[in-house]
Amino acid sequence: MRILVCGGAGYIGSHACVTLCSRGHHVVIADSGVNSSPRVLQRLQRLVGAPVSLHRVDIRDRRAMAALFATYHFDAVLHFAALKAVGESCRKPLDYFDNNIGGTIALLQSMQEAGVRRLVFSSSATVYGDPSQVPVREDAGLQALNPYGRTKLVAEQLIEDLCRADDRFRAANLRYFNPVGAHPSGLIGEDPCGEPNNLMPYICQVAVGQRDHLRVFGGDYPTVDGTGVRDYIHVVDLAQAHADALEYMVSADRGFTVNLGTGRGISVLELVHAFERASGQRIPYEIVERRPGDSAEVFADPALAQQLLGWRAQYDVDAMCRDAWHWQAMNPQGYRSPLRRAAAPRVERPRRAVARLAGA
Ligand code: NAD
Ligand code: UD1
């Protein structure tokens, strides 16, 4: 298939492009560059062994999008293009509504105009809010706890309404749990701007010495060790799921909504210790107050994805940590780093002493 990948220069989209190309699909990327580096293109081309088209286009730019649809005659669209920082969304809700909701509406209009009726949408476990039960099934109650979460919920609803209005339109809503890790080559990975919001990139930056220590948000949750539990999923597993979802949507000629997670909950400290084992680096941490809006425990019931798509996560937490570390060690400054040939040696660097308040 010829596939338009909106937001394909970003973290998850770039991995999905590699998988799609490896299955013989042809990808064209549209990315505004708001949270991506143009350097990803060279890395992607190295990985897929062929030229990849990357267009610097905002999905809200209807003229530029119309030109893309006219040039390439796409069979389907993968829609990763969104802003994703929860804290920033609370400070700048209108930017999030404009980019994520406005962007989705504009993209759907461009698709409709071009007669393209297959969409795979990057949704999030955030649509479950603070789930009342774990593992979380797709039929659990939905709730937005912040403006970012609202954009995902609204986008899902817009897409559902469009499917009702146009019985030829097919959409797959993929609700990701906590994507982590990187391509095993170390060529592409997660490259957050500024201070990372999420746990794994923060651990990685501590490991390469860019941050002093990790702050663990809360040590008194009713969980295995008092720290928050999440369902971390390797980004390569997630990428495979996109290709499976698209291929299933075409062969079964139906839309669907599925969770993408491993079904296994991992605590913050379990992840820290797994990372230490995988990297040989010590990750100093201190336990601080809970982060407002956090849940104690969120993990997926991934049975529906297995039943419909035949998809199941293959990588365990050790592989997630190994590949996250490999990427970070090869690219300490993300895409700003000149690519190193091999992983950085395991050097213990002097650190400021940090109290380890638990699990030392
Ligand atoms: P990312 O920021 O790395 O990738 C998003 C890409 O979209 C970036 O390259 C950015 O430049 C581009 N973009 C943003 N707005 C755009 C616009 N209007 N037009 C064109 N391009 C635009 O994020 P990611 O982690 O790869 O996430 C991909 C998708 O998955 C997002 O929709 C995100 O909300 C969703 N998601 C991510 C996570 C996660 O933890 N990473 C979890 C659940 C859902
Ligand atoms: C966050 C977002 C959620 C989004 C998801 C994936 C919030 C409130 N929620 O969820 O909307 O869908 O990312 O992008 O931001 N932690 C620390 N120290 C840190 C960072 C995180 O202890 O420096 C802990 C958190 O308290 C949590 C776990 O690590 O228990 C995972 O956090 P994070 O990676 O931010 O993911 P989520 O909380 O699942």
Residue the block writes with tokens 């969304």: 89
How confident is residue 341, by pLDDT bands cut at 50, 70 and 90? low
Distance separating alpha carbons of residues 351 and 31, to the nearest angstrom: 39
Which pLDDT score, from 0 to 100, does residue 351 have?
33
How confident is residue 339, by pLDDT bands cut at 50, 70 and 90? low
Is the CB of 80 within 6 Å of ligand 1?
A: yes
Q: For 91-104, write each residue's pLDDT tens digit.
A: 999 999 999 999 99
Q: Where are the alpha helices (DSSP H) in 81-146?
A: 86-91, 93-96, 103-114
Return the active site residues: 148
DSSP of 204-273: HHHHTTSSS-EEEE-S-SSSSSSS-EE-EEEHHHHHHHHHHHHHHHHHHT--EEEEES-S--EEHHHHHH
**Does some domain include residue 286?**
yes
For position 199, which CATH number holds? 3.40.50.720
Three-class DSSP labels, 284-328: CEEEECCCCCCCCECCECCHHHHHHHCCCCCCCHHHHHHHHHHHH
**Does some domain include residue 51?**
yes
Q: Would you say residue 352 has pLDDT above 80?
A: no
How confident is residue 340, by pLDDT bands cut at 50, 70 and 90? low
**Does some domain include residue 237?**
yes
Among the bound ligands, the one closest to the CA of 128 = 2
Which pLDDT score, from 0 to 100, does residue 337 have?
82
Q: For 161-176, write each residue's pLDDT tens digit.
A: 999 999 999 999 999 9
Percentage above 90 pLDDT, the chain: 92
**Does some domain include residue 356?**
no
**Does some domain include residue 294?**
yes
Which pLDDT score, from 0 to 100, does residue 349 have?
35
Distance separating alpha carbons of residues 338 and 8, to the nearest angstrom: 21
Q: For 229-257, write each residue's pLDDT tens digit.
A: 999 999 999 999 999 999 999 999 999 99
Nearest CA to ligand 2 atom 35: 198
Which residue range(s) make up the domain with 299?
2-336
**Does some domain include residue 270?**
yes
Q: How far is CA 186 from CA 37, 183, 233, 297, in A?
A: 16, 6, 17, 30
Q: Structural domain tally of the chain?
A: 1
**Does some domain include residue 344?**
no
Residue 136 carries which DSSP code? Answer: B
**Does some domain include residue 351?**
no
Among the bound ligands, the one closest to the CA of 10 = 1
CB 308 within 8 A of CB 299: no
Q: For 110-129, write each residue's pLDDT tens digit.
A: 999 999 999 999 999 999 99
Q: Tell me what the pLDDT averaged over the chain comes to.
A: 93
Which pLDDT score, from 0 to 100, does residue 193 have?
87
